[in-house]
Structure 1
C-alpha cells in the first residue's frame, strides 16, 4: 500500500495547499462564510442516554470542524470517492481490519450519519503577499502534517461499541500487521499509545509506524468519543513523521459540545 498511502498524502497536502493559494489571492470572504453554525444545540446529557438517537449526515456536517474554527489550518472538502476507496482497505489479520479502515475515512460499526473533511496546519499568507513568499508557504504546507477528519454518529450505544472495537484492535494489533488498499500492501510494524488527549468521554491516541519499502513512516491516529459521536483523526506527513493534530482535535471536540 506504499504507493496508495503516499498518493493519498500527496493529494491531501496538495489540495489544501492549492486552497491556501486561492484563499490568499481571493481575500477573506470565503473564510467568513464558513462554520458560523451554533454547535451547542444538542442536550448536555446526550452521552448518558442509552437510547440516544444518532445524528444525520446533515447534522454532523454542521458540527464538523471548519475554516472559521482554525485560522492557521486550511481545509478541503472530502469526496465520496475517497470514502469509497477506504472501504476496500483490509488487513492480513481480520482483527486489525477496523484499525486499518479507521485510517482510511471508514468508521467502525454502522453509523447513522457521517461527515468528513481534510486539513493541513499552515498559516495562510495575507492578501498581497509576494509570489516568492506565497511559493514558500505552499512548499512548507506540502511538508506539514495532513489530517483527515471523520465524524460518525450512532444509535443507542453504537458509538461506545465502535470506539471499543478500534481500541480492542489497537491492543491486539500492537505488534504489527499488514494493510492492503488498491491492491498494494504496507507492513505496519507497531501501533503504540500516542500522546495523551483530553476531552470527550473517551479518547484513544495512537502512533502507528509503517515500513514502506524500507522507509519508516510515522502516522498518528486519534479517536475521541463524545456522547453518540466518534471523531477520528488520521494524520500523515510527506516529511515522514506526522505530528499529532492537537489543535485540530481540540477544536473538533469543542464543537461537539
Structure 2
C-alpha cells in the first residue's frame, strides 16, 4: 500500500467523520456495527508435506475474499495504481526487496498467478449520547476508526511459495534498522521493521507478522504486515489504521481478516 493510497484513505475517513458529526448535531441516529470476532492462533512451523500444485488465476480469484464474506468489512477490487509489479520497486539494498514489495502490494519471487483485494473494517460509530460526551478531537477521531488492508494471494510452482516466505522473513531480520526504496517513482523510507510476537495469526503452514514504520513527507506511518504460506499459496496483508496514524496509538493485527481468507483458501 503506497503513501498516496494512505493519503486518499485518510481523506475519505475525514469526510466520513465530518458527515457523522453533522448527523449527530442534527439529531440523526448513528448505527453501531457488531465487532468481528478475532480468533488468533499459534504460528506453525514450516510444513514437511510435498508442495501442492499452484492455483490457476481462475482458482485464485475464486479463493479471494469478496464482499459479504466477512461481516463488518468492505471488500473491493484495488484501484488503478494500487497494485505494483516487482519491477516498479527499486531498493538500493537488494536484501530488503521482499519487505519493500510486501509494503507496496507487490509480489516476492515469480508467482504463477496473483489476486488482490482492498479491505476496510467498518468503523463502529458512536451514538449521539456518546458523541455528546466527547471532546471535538475525540469526535473527529471516532469517525476514523477503520483499518485498511491490502490483501494479496500469490500462487507458486514447486517450492517457490516457501522460498518467497523465507525471503520475506530474512529481509525483515536483515533490514530491521530500516532502509529506503522507490515505489512507482515515490521515495519511501522505512525507519524500522519489528517482528510482532505479542499477537499471532491462525492457520497456514508458516506465518509471521511485523510492524513497519514508514517515513514520508516528514510524517511517520505505522504499518502491520502479515505473511502466511498455505501450501503453494502465499497470502499477504499490509494494514494501516487510520485512527492510529492520526493519534500515534498502536493497533492490532487484522486477525479476523487473516482467518477468513485462510478459511476460504482451504
- TM-score band (shorter)? 0.7 to 0.9
Q: Is the 8 A contact 1:207 1:219 kept in 2?
A: yes
CA distance in 2, matches of 1:139, 1:118: 22
Count of equivalent residues: 221
Matches for 1:5-16 after TM superposition, within 5 Å: 5-12=2-9
Q: Is the 8 A contact 1:222 1:232 kept in 2?
A: yes
Q: Which 10-residue stretch deviates more, 97-106 or 175-184?
A: 175-184
Q: Residue in 2 aligned with 1:252?
A: 261
CA distance in 2, matches of 1:217, 1:157: 34
Determine which structure has the larger helix proportion and give its number.
1
CA distance in 2, matches of 1:220, 1:181: 18
Give 5+ residue unaligned stretches, structure 2.
16-46, 126-130, 132-139
Q: Residue in 2 aligned with 1:233?
A: 237
Give the CA RMSD over aligned residues: 3.3
CA distance in 2, matches of 1:233, 1:104: 11
Give the TM-score normalised by the residue count of structure 2.
0.71
4+ residue segments displaced more than 4 Å: 12-18, 138-143
Q: Residue in 2 aligned with 1:202?
A: 206
Report the CA distance between 1:213 and its aligned residue: 4.1
> What's the CA shift string for 1:3-51, capped at 9, x where partnerless?
x943212335678999xxxxxxxxxxxxxxxxxxxxxxxxxxx98233x
> What's the CA shift string for 1:46-97, capped at 9, x where partnerless?
98233x3211111111111222221200111124643236741222311101
Query: Structure 1 residues 103, 10: CA separation in 2 closer, same or farther (over 3 Å shift)?
Result: same
CA distance in 1, matches of 2:188, 2:122: 28
Query: Structure 1 residues 197, 181: CA separation in 2 closer, same or farther (over 3 Å shift)?
Result: same
Report the CA distance between 1:256 and its aligned residue: 1.8
Q: Which among 162, 165, 171 is matched to residue 160 of structure 1?
A: 162
